[in-house]
Amino acid sequence: DAGITQSPRYKITETGRQVTLMCHQTWSHSYMFWYRQDLGHGLRLIYYSAAADITDKGEVPDGYVVSRSKTENFPLTLESATRSQTSVYFCASRVQGGSPLHFGNGTRLTVT
Amino acid sequence: KQEVTQIPAALSVPEGENLVLNCSFTDSAIYNLQWFRQDPGKGLTSLLLIQSSQREQTSGRLNASLDKSSGRSTLYIAASQPGDSATYLCAVGTTDSWGKLQFGAGTQVVVTP
C-alpha cells in the first residue's frame, strides 16, 4: 500500500544502546521529517530532509542522527539512548514546501 | 520564535452541535496553516491546508478560516458526530523553502451521542 510506513511500532531498549527507527514512503516525496510527541511539549521537530543526502537539524536534534541515501527512506538513529528519549516518534513527508504534510503511524519508544 | 496556541485544551459537545476550534499564532509571516486530526495511538491525518494567500478552505463538513493579520485560524465542523471525537491540531508553516511546521498542543474533542 502507498503511504508512510514506520517500523517498529513499539520498541523497548535500555539506556546506552543504539536504536534505529525506520521510515519508508512510497510517494517519492522530496521532503521528509522526524517529530517526537510528548505530553506537555506537543510535537517537536528533530531532523528534516529536502532530498537524498540533504538533511538539517530541527528544534531538538541532540542525541539523534539521520541519513537519507535513498529518497524513500529516512532512518532515525539514537546513538546512545537516554530515558529522556522515551517518546512517540513520527515520520512525515510532503511533495514540496507548500503541500500537505502526511504522517506515519508512529513508533512508541521506551528507554529503560 | 513562532508560538502556536490552541484554546480550549478540551471540549465536549452533544452530537449534532457545530464545533468551533481555535488556533492562534504570534508571527503573521507564515507560509501556510494546516489542520490535523489525531486518533488515540495513531498518526496525524491531514484535514485542511490553507495557503497564506487564502482566507478559507472547505472539505465536506469542515471549514477552516485564516486571518493572518490577527494571527488566528478557526476550524468549523458542522453537525458533529461521535466519530468526530479526536484531538485536533493546527500547525503553522514557516516561510522558508522547507515549510517546517510549528504545532499547537491540540484540542481534545469528545462528541457525546
* Interface probe with B: pick from A103, A105, A107, A108, most Cβ of B within 10 Å: A103
Å from B72 to nearest chain A CA?
19
**Which residues of chain B are within 8 Å of residue A4 when distances are taken between CB atoms?**
43
Q: Would you say residue A1 has pLDDT above 70?
A: no
- How far apart CA A49 and CA B63 sit, in angstroms, is 31
* Per-residue pLDDT tens listing for chain B (113 residues): 889 999 999 999 999 999 999 999 999 999 999 999 999 988 999 999 999 999 999 999 999 999 999 999 999 999 999 999 999 999 999 877 677 899 999 999 999 99
What is the pLDDT at residue B60? Answer: 97
What is the pLDDT at residue B97? Answer: 61
How far from chain centre, in Å, is Cα A24? Answer: 10
Q: How many H-runs (helices) and E-runs (strands) does chain B carry? A: 0, 11
Which one of A48, A104, A105 has the shortest CB-CB distance to B98? A48
CA–CA–CA angle B8, A105, A8 (5° rounding): 135
H or E stretch at B87: strand B86-93
Q: Do residues B53 and B30 lie in contact, with contact meaning Cβ atoms separated by under 8 Å?
A: no
A65-103 pLDDT, tens digit each = 999 999 999 999 999 999 999 999 999 999 887 889 999
The C-alpha torsion from A32 through A108 and A104 to A59, rounded to 10°, is: -30
What is the pLDDT at residue A99? Answer: 87
A15-29 pLDDT, tens digit each = 999 999 999 999 989
**Please, how many CA atoms are within 13 Å of residue A39, restricted to the half-sphere of its CB?**
1
The residues that bridge with B37 in the sheet, in sequence order, are B45, B88
Q: Residue B100 and residue A99: Cβ atoms within 8 Å?
A: no
Pull the grid cell for residue B20: 468551533
**Which residues of chain B are within 8 Å of residue A104 when distances are taken between CB atoms?**
43
DSSP secondary structure code for residue A101 in this structure: P
Q: Residue A103 and residue B91: Cβ atoms within 8 Å?
A: no
Q: What's the one-letter identity of residue B47?
A: L
**Which residues of chain B are within 8 Å of residue A33 when distances are taken between CB atoms?**
100
A38-51 pLDDT, tens digit each = 988 889 999 999 99
Q: Residue B49 and residue A99: Cβ atoms within 8 Å?
A: yes
> Burial, A62: exposed, middle or buried (Cβ in 10 Å; 0-12, 13-18, 19+)?
exposed
A95 CB within 8 Å of a chain B CB: no
Question: What is residue B68's three-state secondary structure?
Answer: coil
What's the full length of chain A, in residues?
112
Q: Which of B68, B59, B11 is nearest to B35 (CA)?
A: B59
